[in-house]
Amino acid sequence: MAATTSTKTTYKKLSQIYWTKQKQIQLIGPYRLQGNIIKGHQRGRQIGIKTANLDPQQFENELEQIINAQLNEGVYIGYARIDNDKDIYKNILSIGTNPHFKNKNITIESHLLHKFQQDFYDSHLRIIITGFIRPSLPFETMDDLIQSINTDIKFGADALDNQSHSKFIDDDFMTKIIELNKKK
């Protein structure tokens, strides 16, 4: 299916506003979220961009802070840590209703920039959000969505190398050992 004029215009706006003209991604927060990883819609798995999903009901107060800061549903960057593992990973995440799929409920989907050998459902995920890439948008085709996600990943990964973001790797929220309450 060929892209429509509106989709082409959306891509033009995205590339001009979010992916090329910005020297740095908009710094925000930081905002801190944590909870147990839940099974999502499995769409990321289907398109080769796996995500670790959190249940937004686990931290309604923190989401309210993000909403009160007048941030859009959209694509964000930051860092993530699973359980008390020593590694902290770059993280590109989507917070919102995913207008491409017309979801009714808000989802939080984290794409950790690492190739994991196995799933880690019910593991504890800590996220620190440091930047905003772009608002959520519906796309004409699945290929358009995948292309946009891959551009977000590249753009976000590069931005996370910047000291204004990377300093949050050492944030106490990310580095401290916590008591884990995993489901059995």
pLDDT at 2 exceeding the cut of 90 = no
pLDDT at 54 exceeding the cut of 50 = yes
Q: Check if the beta carbon of residue 39 is closer than 8 Å to that of residue 159.
A: no
pLDDT at 59: 74
Q: Check if the beta carbon of residue 45 is closer than 8 Å to that of residue 92.
A: no
Of 48-52, 68-72, 124-128, 130-134, the least confident: 68-72
Q: Is 155 helix (H, G, I), strand (E, B) or coil?
A: helix
* pLDDT tens-place string over residues 90-104: 999 998 877 666 777
pLDDT band at 11 (very low <50, low <70, confident <90, very high): low
Q: Check if the beta carbon of residue 159 is closer than 8 Å to that of residue 91.
A: no
In sequence order, which residues have a C-beta less than 8 Å from that of residue 20 and are 6 or more positions away?
none
Which percentage of the chain shows pLDDT scores above 70? Answer: 79
Q: Check if the beta carbon of residue 105 is closer than 8 Å to that of residue 144.
A: no
Backbone angles phi, psi at 107, to 5 degrees: -125, 155
Mean pLDDT of the chain: 82
Instruction: Report the catalytic residues.
Output: 109
Angstrom distance (rounded) from CA 69 to CA 71:
6
pLDDT at 77 exceeding the cut of 60 = yes
* pLDDT tens-place string over residues 85-141: 999 999 999 988 776 667 777 888 999 999 888 888 889 999 999 998 888 887 878
